[in-house]
Amino acid sequence: MLLTTNAQSGLNIEPLFAGKIIPQQRMVETRVKGKMLSKYQLTLFRSVRFQANNKQEITRVHDLIELDKKKHPNNIYSENYSSTKSRSKETLMLQLSKEGNHNRFLCYKRNNEEVTVIYMEGTLNSLDTLRELIK
């Protein structure tokens, strides 16, 4: 657990990564750091994925993402889709304020009850480039 635990500090979504919103045992967490990421111009990739048990969990995470979005309103990519069967998909990508020499990014993706939140850092310099990388 020594791997940049403070990377998301200062973000409203940080408690999700700390297991304070959804218990750790219900989340699949991925952490990658180092040379494997260099071809993507990233130095850190951290994601959590979980199946929401109820709408309150989705709303809580979504609200925290929205708070971070308000703090960093300049570079945002958003896509929403809802069908008549009340299935919904949502994608939000934010370029956060720079920290030191690193650009920071936050991505939120929801496909019905499956929620994924990704935090990334690196020298990658634009949200457009990131969107191309993770298509």
Residue for token digits 């990704």?
Answer: 118
Q: Provide mean pLDDT across the span 107-114.
A: 93
**Domain assignment present for 72:** yes
**Domain assignment present for 46:** yes
Residue bearing the bigger pLDDT, 127 or 124: 124
Q: Please tell me the distance from the alpha carbon of residue 62 to that of residue 113, in angstroms, as a whole number.
A: 12
Q: Please tell me the distance from the alpha carbon of residue 115 to that of residue 60, in angstroms, as a whole number.
A: 12
Residue bearing the bigger pLDDT, 58 or 80: 58
**Domain assignment present for 8:** no
**Domain assignment present for 28:** yes
Cα separations (Å) of 16 from 35, 63, 66, 129? 26, 12, 14, 26
Question: In terms of residue numbers, what domain contains 100?
Answer: 14-133
For the segment 5-37, what is each residue's pLDDT rounded down to a tens digit? 456 778 999 999 999 999 999 999 999 998 889
Residue bearing the bigger pLDDT, 100 or 83: 100
67: confidence class by pLDDT, cuts 50, 70, 90 = very high
pTM across the whole model: 0.86
pLDDT of residue 1: 37
113: confidence class by pLDDT, cuts 50, 70, 90 = very high
pLDDT of residue 106: 93
Q: Are 120 and 130 in contact (CB under 8 A)?
A: yes
**Domain assignment present for 3:** no
